[in-house]
Amino acid sequence: MNNFFKIGERGSTVGTEVRAGITTFLAMAYIIAVNPALLSAAGIPVGAAVTSTCFAAGIMTILMGLFANRPLACASGMGINAVVAFSLTAAAGGDWKVAMAVIFLEGLIILALVLCGLREAIMEAVPVSLRHAIAVGLGIFIALLGLINGGIVVNDDSTLITFGSVYNPVFLVGIISVVVTFALYVFKIKGYILWGIIIAAVAGVPLGVTPMPTGIVQLPDFTTFMAPFQTAADGSGMAIVKVFVNPTLLVFVFSIMLSDFFDTMGTAVAVGKQGDFLDEDGNVKDIRKILIVDSLAASVGGLFGASSCTTFVESASGAADGGRTGLTSVVTGIIFLLAAFFSPLVSMIAAPATCGALVMVGFLMMNVVSDIDFSNPLDGIPAFMTIIGIPLTYSIATGIGLGFITYTLMAVCTGNVSKVKPLTWLVDIAFLISFLIA
Q: In this predicted model, what pLDDT tens digit does every residue of 180-223 receive, in sequence order?
A: 999 999 998 877 888 888 899 999 999 999 888 777 888 899 99
Mean pLDDT value of segment 240-257:
87
Between these two residues, 255 and 239, which has the higher pLDDT value? 239
Q: Is the confidence at residue 329, as pLDDT, over 90?
A: yes
Plot region of 305 (φ>0 → left; ψ -120 to 50 → alpha; else → beta): left
| Per-residue confidence (pLDDT) for residue 438, from 0 to 100 | 66
Burial of 348 (0-12, 13-18, 19+ CB in 10 A): middle
Q: How far apart are the first and last CA of the chain?
A: 46
| Per-residue confidence (pLDDT) for residue 46, from 0 to 100 | 84
| Per-residue confidence (pLDDT) for residue 327, from 0 to 100 | 97
Residues 256 and 37: beta-carbon distance below 8 Å:
no
Quote the percentage of the chain above a pLDDT of 90.
55
